[in-house]
Amino acid sequence: MPEIKLTDREMRYIALFESLTNTTVMDCVVDDDKNRIIFLIKPGQAGLAVGRNGINVKRLREILNKDIEIIEYAETPEELIKNCFYPANVRTVKITTTADNRKVAVISVSPAEKGLAIGKDGRNVSRARLIAKRYFDIEKVVVI
List the CATH number of the domain containing 94: 3.30.300.20
Q: Are 44 and 60 in contact (CB under 8 A)?
A: no
User: Could you give the CA distance from residue 38 to residue 69 in angstroms, rounded to a whole number?
Assistant: 5
- Report field, pTM of the whole predicted structure over 0.85: yes
Q: Is the pLDDT of residue 144 over 70?
A: yes
Q: In this predicted model, what pLDDT tens digit does every residue of 30-79 receive, in sequence order? A: 999 999 999 999 999 999 999 999 999 999 999 999 999 999 999 999 99
Q: How far apart are CA 143 and CA 126, in angstroms?
A: 11
Q: Are residues 95 and 64 in the same domain?
A: no
What residues make up the domain containing 138?
77-143
Q: Are residues 63 and 50 in the same domain?
A: yes
Asked if 84 and 131 count as a contact pair (C-beta separation under 8 A), the reply is: yes
Residues 92 and 121 in one domain: yes
φ/ψ of 139, rounded to 5, equals -90, -25
Q: What is the total count of domains within the chain?
A: 2
Q: Do the domain assignments include residue 132?
A: yes
